[in-house]
């Protein structure tokens, strides 16, 4: 009976450690993704503007030609 109690306590400690580690990893991942998005937002906006200008020029060229 004592052995089972020790096993259950060890299992609870191991599962608790895993859960704590996973929650910490998800928190770090969320912060990294937010930081990457913040860093890449200006580049994405610039690419969208460039794409829009290229589409406008292509439309003008097809109407002119």
Q: How far apart are CA 37 and CA 29, in angstroms?
A: 12
> How far from the centroid of its chain's Cα atoms is residue 2's Cα?
45
What is the chain's length? 65
8-59 tens-digit pLDDT: 999 999 999 999 999 999 999 999 999 999 999 999 999 999 999 999 999 9
> Domain locations in the chain?
13-60
pTM beyond cutoff 0.85: no
47-60 tens-digit pLDDT: 999 999 999 999 99
Predicted confidence band of residue 62 (pLDDT cuts 50, 70, 90): confident
Residue 65 has pLDDT above 90, yes or no: no
């Amino acid at each position: 009976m004592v052995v089972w109690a020790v096993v259950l306590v060890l299992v609870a400690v191991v599962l608790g450690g895993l859960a704590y580690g996973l929650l910490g990893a998800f928190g770090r991942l969320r912060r990294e993704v937010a930081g990457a998005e913040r860093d890449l937002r200006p580049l994405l906006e610039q690419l969208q503007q460039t794409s829009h200008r290229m589409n406008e020029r292509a439309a003008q060229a097809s109407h002119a030609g």
